[in-house]
Structure 1
Amino acid sequence: MKLCFNEGTTMKNSTLELDLELCNKYRYDLIEIRVDQLNSYLERHSLNDLIKFFNEHQIKPYSFNTLEFVTFRDAIDYKKIKDDLVYLCETGTKINCRNIVVVPSFDVPYTKRQIKEETVRVLNDLADVAEKYHINLAFEFVGYPNCSVNTFEQAYEIVTAVNRENVGMVLDCFHFHSMNSKIEALKKADPNKIFIFHIDDAEDLPVGALRDNNRLWPGDGSIDLDLILKTLKEIGYDRMASVELFREEYWKWEPEKTIKVAKEKTEAVIKKYFTT
């Protein structure tokens, strides 16, 4: 299992340059690059500088985060999404970053059937673009009551309906737990359809009440990470695990402390089931 760092974990107190330096120092295998951090980096450096860094160091790029709220958009907004997709595909091709996280919309007044139809349509349309660049789309459900796709089962049904090699999904432990996704569904899943695995933990709140600031380091909260990891092992998933938190308390830490602790906490949980 390769270890990955998601830049959301240091989002308010770091830069792409510093995250890369520190993640390489602490021997992460992979990094998920935030699009805002990428754009800020390119104001100070060239893309060739980024290519050179990855060529000369152990750590490699894994995904871009995130194309947000891609469903039920008007023509102007949707064109912007597709333009952003092309930009990320072109950049990803140059730095060998082959995955883009895609998130559905919130607060939409539609039925589950309509949500499925729209999401399948949009993912197919975006996948047509990404496919030309040999880029994958990782669809991420969000475990909030007002997200149009908020459980593993719902997301997996959509990804299965799309049925394309370059469309898979993100399994985030926080989102899996927060809306009470069913472990039985994960047990039946095709591991090849899980493109990204986000590992994190959460405070002990009722179903539907958790928000990003309730995330905790892996092993410090109420999520049954052992059950999730055991199930992933059983179904044959061993691609990568990316630590992703959006906790304001951790954003106030020095980035080196955050990145070091993230690695230690993640390894301590994963090593019971996987070799890292």
Structure 2
Amino acid sequence: MRPFLLSLLAAVALVLVPAPPAAAAGSSPTAIPLPGSPYGDPAGSNDWACAPSAARPTPVILVHGTFGDRRSLLDPISLAMKRAGFCVYSFDYGNRATGDIRDSAAHLGEFIERVREVTDADKVSLVGHSQGGMMPRYYIKNLGGAAYVEDLVGLAPSNHGTTIVMDGTAIGATGLCQSCAQQAAGSPFLVDLNAGDETPGDISYTQIVTATDEVVVPHTSGFLAEGPNTTNVRIQDACALDLSDHLLIPMSTAAIALTLDALTHEGPASPGLKTC
């Protein structure tokens, strides 16, 4: 097995749980928002009776990373957003996000439509971990998503991939994790995704990375091209004592504070925010 898969699988083994059961064949895609899961939803999320308020009119959707599920690592940030007054949602996609990222982006689009229909919201904000911070960019760029997204916050996003993938083609050929191959630095998928404008649309882009990232390497590959609607920030810039790594960044106090900052005012997060 390639070194990348060995290290990545060892890391995610800390949080993996069995995949939730698939929806019943022939069931309506809109009748029940999510299939049942013995592991449930992130704290405070998927309240389908939640009504966005005048102060918090934009629902927030959490997007998990590779090998994760809709709850893995996301309880603290979900609860923080719920307590801040947001309607929060989370979903499973792509066979634990190992499938083709393009198909996962289409699934994201379907889930966004569900949330918009239920909440009567024009747009949603997206908060994604790892692949979950990068994958929505495909939806925005190629699937018409720019019209429906207010903010995109990436937590250690794999925007420009990782150099620890030794042979992305070989990994993809195994059929175990197509998205792993697509997240290799320089992969055809990422070359196409990052061609031209990296931050299209009237969207605020916030990339929150950590200097201790051992999966997205180098950690600066999570940054996007600078612009008026873009903030690139390390959690160590907000709190030098916060050493959260790739897996723990969704639970990082600094990352959560930066995320809430991005979601509660116009534009992306304030890069000079201090949290400790």
* TM-score (ref. length: structure 1): 0.40
**Which structure is richer in relative contact order (CA contacts within 8 A, separation 6 or more)?**
1
User: Whose helix proportion is higher, 1 or 2?
Assistant: 1
Greater strand share, structure number: 1
